Amino acid sequence: MSKFWSSIVTRTEPYIPGEQINDPSIIKLNTNENPYPPSDSVENAIKDELGGNLKRYPSPTVDSLRETIAENYHVGKESIFVGNGSDEILGFSFMAFFEPGKTIRFPNISYSFYPVYAKLFNIPFDEVNVNSDFSLDPSAFFESDGGVIFPNPNAPTGILLSLSAVESIIVQNRNQVVIIDEAYIDFARETAVPLVAKYPNLLVIQTTSKSRSLAGLRVGYAIGHPDLIEGLNRIKNSFNSYTLDRLAIVGANAALLDKSYYEAITRKIIQTREWISKELTQLGFHVLPSQANFVFASHKKVTAINLYTLLKQNGILVRHFNQEPIDNYLRITIGSNTEMKLFMERLKRILRKNT
């Protein structure tokens, strides 16, 4: 702490992101990145842009990319906001739609960034307990004072809340904004975006980091009523009217246009997820029913922290959260088939030695 810090910095907690390591010999299953590369069209678009206009500022309104997203979802481009990863849009949304003095709600087990933003912007929050099977109880989010935010599928559990339950939360919060963080929705395919046309209080946030293999490019987007998008634009323009750089704009645009490539790798990841979930269950894990590109699992005999350490010693990095009641679970990102076969081999060896 420094005596020069403002009260904003003082009340902010340091956020600890997942470990980012560059050792190619490590099988990295800890931050839900896509194991497959982006489509060739992304590289081509970025190369073209590199040969062209980097001396010029990018478009502050990013019309090309917003039009592509709008067409994908059959909405107008005035319903689309783009930002530097969905994290940035989440931060802007807390500022634009949540109020100091009005309590918002999110699940007690969900994306660990929400309490960090809430504290930063002085927004009181209730962490709503999840059910004993880790699913969400929609009625616990009805009639909030200041708004609601949750990931769907939830992270780090991977559990999906049905679209009808999502809709009931939006309906029962008509005077507050409900934000659905759909970072993993392409692995579940039950997006709430069609509800945007019906409900002016709904903001859906998605990302190119997961299903589009572009975590390194940092492009997220939000879909909502034009008035909500205008609120986000005011925040954005006050901080940095150019939040997306030229390479990110053309790369994300190329990815979002190349549907067949991404549908194919998404299908592969879903198949691997189903296979891994069965295998882990046979090995004595309790595995939550995941609709995301990761599984959340707890072994009946070996503690999660021991398994995390033993896997790491064997060249495999997974995610462990030191937080009750999930401290005996591991979040395992679905890697390529080759990576997951190696993961299973090494895990079986570890379990033979330790049970």
- Residue with smaller CB distance to ligand PMP, 157 or 298: 157
Least distance (Å) from ligand PMP to the CB of residue 32? 6
Least distance (Å) from ligand PMP to the CB of residue 301? 29
- Residue with smaller CB distance to ligand PMP, 146 or 153: 153
Residue numbers 208-227 binding ligand PMP by CB under 6 A = 209, 215, 220
Residue with tokens 């645009």: 253
- Residue with smaller CB distance to ligand PMP, 291 or 299: 291
Closest CA to 216 of 341, 97, 53, 38: 38
CA dihedral 20→21→26→32, nearest 10 degrees, is 20
Residues paired with 181 in a beta bridge: 151, 205
Write each residue from 115 to 154 as x if it is in contact with ligand PMP (CB under 6 A), else as -, in one continuous string: ------------------------------------x---
Stretch of 3-11, 61-69, 83-91, 293-301 contacting ligand PMP, by CB under 6 A: 83-91
Among 42, 116, 136, 155, binds ligand PMP (CB under 6 A): 155
Residue 170 main-chain phi, psi, to 5 deg: -65, -45
Least distance (Å) from ligand PMP to the CB of residue 275? 23
Among 33, 49, 181, 186, binds ligand PMP (CB under 6 A): 181
- Tell me how far CA of residue 49 lies from CA of 84, 176, 260, 330, in angstroms: 18, 41, 23, 40
Supply angle C-alpha 178, 186, 47, rounded to 5.
Answer: 110
**Residue 317 binds to ligand PMP (criterion: CB under 6 A):** no
Stretch of 7-15, 82-90, 133-141, 331-339 contacting ligand PMP, by CB under 6 A: 82-90
Using Cβ positions, the residue closest to ligand PMP within the complex turns out to be: 85
Among 35, 38, 85, 147, binds ligand PMP (CB under 6 A): 85
Q: At what angle do helices 85-97 and 226-239 cross, to 10 degrees?
A: 110
**Residue 183 binds to ligand PMP (criterion: CB under 6 A):** yes
**Residue 207 binds to ligand PMP (criterion: CB under 6 A):** yes
Residues that bind ligand PMP (CB under 6 A): 85-87, 111, 151, 155, 181, 183, 207, 209, 215, 220
